[in-house]
Amino acid sequence: MSALNSLSLHSGLLHRAHRGVAQQRQQWCTTQRHRRQGGVISRVAVQCTAAGRLALFSPSKINLFLRVMRRREDGFHDLASLFHVIDLGDDMTFELLPEGADRDQLSCSDPSIPSDDSNLVIKALHLFRRKTQTARFFGVTLQKKVPHGAGLGGGSGNAATTLWAANELMGRPATAAQLLQWSGEIGSDISVFFSLGAAYCTGRGEVVEDVAPPLPLTTPLLLVKPPVGLATPRIFKSLDLSRRSAADPLELLAGMTKAGATGSPLPQALCVHDLEQPAFDNLPELKELKERLASSPVGSSPQDSPGGAEQQRPAAVFMTGSGSTIVSVGCDTPPAFLADPNYKDMFVSPARLIVRQPDQWYVHSGQWKA
């Protein structure tokens, strides 16, 4: 595809997506025009809500495709990826601490997760105070369900949810656009959660453009993660740029948009993921898991298929993020082989794609029991 045609395709896809998004955001943005769109907000704009306590669902995400476009001079990589928020998530509760408190308090159900300044939740609160010029501190309770080292962005979802909650508890001193802009300062994947759920992301992942969901929100997903995680820096260090896909990400986006519009199954050929190469090099068992999920019948055991009839396979199977979670699209019933004792330590969960309204945060789909 020529550069001109690619640009034209990109503009057309995003125009259709933005047309609906812009209408949804119009009322919210109208009330925020008096506030600056970046930098530091005036202290007089910060107000505390009466309730002072808020419970929110903290979602995770998957990458339906991920292209690594180049290695940058600063050591980071430019990406082009279709992200989608999903309803595998954590439960978070936030409250304003009494005036005079001089530090945030984070309580987490997983004792292996640090609760100090290295945690993205605490980083998000520091960022919020710095940008809004408020001196209030927060208490946060985090019930973890999303595994870490999974490529699901669970920690990033926690940080995004924290920014949203702090803004709500303080009376919305910041716009959603500002929260999105600020979030890129503490992590690349955080920004995607300030989309409406489906987003074409570029740069390090912090440049977010809303797009239409590429699949029906009722599409069953199955997430399978081995007990070992993969460190993102290690995966990018192991990336061999000469072994990347040559697929144009805008063509991948167009193909997925077309599949979503027509209700067609997600084509496996569009689920390109350049980080599978380094992940599979570092963890060959992960490649074997992907291949076995792709070849295993879904929704029934072999004896349920009379006369040896051909059984349905997943529409697509791919890794998400930098691993080590594999996503199977089309059925959320675990295939029979996962009942083998050799797989007893696997994390296995159903999931659905979810979206949100511009002035609301994400909620669980309710299509499966969390």
Q: Which residues contact 295 (CB under 8 A, 6 or more apart)?
A: 313
In this model, does residue 2 exceed pLDDT 50? no
Asked if the model's pLDDT at residue 159 lies above 50, the reply is: yes
Containing structural domain, residue 295: 221-301+312-351
Q: What is the pLDDT of residue 85?
A: 98
Query: Across residues 157-168, what is the average pLDDT?
Result: 98
**pLDDT score recorded for residue 328:** 98
pLDDT higher than threshold 60 for residue 295: yes
The verdict on 170 and 281 lying in the same domain is no
Write down the pLDDT at residue 309: 46
Same domain, 82 and 204: yes
Looking at residues 9-23, what average pLDDT do you find? 44
Same domain flag for 83 and 149: yes
User: Using 50, 70 and 90 to split pLDDT, how confident is the model at 256?
Assistant: very high
pTM for the structure as a whole = 0.85
Q: How far is CA 220 from CA 30, 99, 329, 338, 354, in A?
A: 37, 46, 6, 17, 12
Does 39 have pLDDT greater than 80? no
At which of 210, 230, 246 does a domain end? 210
- Helix (H, G, I), strand (E, B), or coil: what is residue 19? helix
Range with the poorest average pLDDT among 57-61, 73-77, 242-246, 333-337: 73-77
pLDDT reading at 333 higher than 70: yes
| Number of domains observed in the structure of the chain | 2
344 confidence band (pLDDT: 50, 70, 90):
very high
DSSP state of 323: S
Same domain membership, residue 202 and residue 226 = no
Asked if residue 174 belongs to a domain, the reply is: yes
Single out the residue in 150, 180, 210 at which a domain terminates: 210
Q: Using the predicted structure, report yes or no on whether residue 34 has a pLDDT greater than 60.
A: no
Residue 359 covered by a domain = no
Report CA Rg, the chain.
21
Buried/exposed code over 59-90 (b: 16+ C-beta within 10 A; e: otherwise): bbbbbbbbbbbeeeeeeebebbbbbbbbbbbb
Res 151: pLDDT: 95
Q: Is residue 364 part of a domain?
A: no
Question: Is the predicted pLDDT of residue 294 greater than 50, yes or no?
Answer: yes
Confidence of residue 312 (pLDDT cuts 50, 70, 90): confident
Q: What is the mean pLDDT of the chain?
A: 86
Mean pLDDT of 26-51: 41
The answer to whether residue 45 scores a pLDDT higher than 60 is no
Angle at 362 between CA 360 and CA 366, to 5 degrees: 125
Q: What is the mean pLDDT of residues 233-252?
A: 95
Q: Which of 150, 171, 174 has its CA nearest to residue 160?
A: 174
Q: Which amino acid is at 102?
A: D
Q: Is the pLDDT of residue 41 over 80?
A: no
d(CA 187, CA 189): 6
309: phi then psi, degrees, rounded to nearest 5: -60, 150
pLDDT at 218 over 70: yes
Note the pLDDT of residue 299: 62
- What is the pLDDT at residue 179? 97
The lowest-confidence range among 37-51, 52-66, 198-212 is 37-51
Which residues touch 113 (CB under 8 Å, ≥6 apart)?
Answer: 119, 142, 144, 148
What are 53's strand-pairing partners? Answer: 95
Instruction: Please check whether residue 158 is in contact with residue 196, taking contact to mean a CB–CB distance below 8 angstroms.
Output: no
- pLDDT band for 42, please (50, 70, 90 cuts): very low
Same domain for 179 and 225, yes or no, is: no
Cα separation, 275 vs 246, whole angstroms: 13
172 in the same domain as 282: no
Domain membership flag for residue 253: yes
Average pLDDT rounded to a whole number, residues 135-157: 96
Query: In the chain, what percentage of residues exceed pLDDT 90?
Result: 74
Q: Indicate whether 205 and 230 sit together in one domain.
A: no
> Percent of the chain at pLDDT above 70?
83
CATH at 319:
3.30.70.890
Q: What is the pLDDT of residues 47-91, one digit of tens each?
A: 444 457 999 999 999 999 999 999 988 878 999 999 999 999 999
Which pLDDT value is given to residue 310? 54
Quote the pLDDT of residue 259. Answer: 87
Confirm whether 165 is domain-assigned: yes
- CATH number assigned to the domain comprising residue 123: 3.30.230.10
- Position 185: which residue type? E
Residues in the chain: 370
Residues 91 and 192 in one domain: yes
Last residue of one domain, picked from the residues 164, 189, 210 = 210
pLDDT band at 224 (very low <50, low <70, confident <90, very high): very high
Residue 24 pLDDT exceeds 90: no
Q: What mean pLDDT do residues 181-196 have?
A: 95
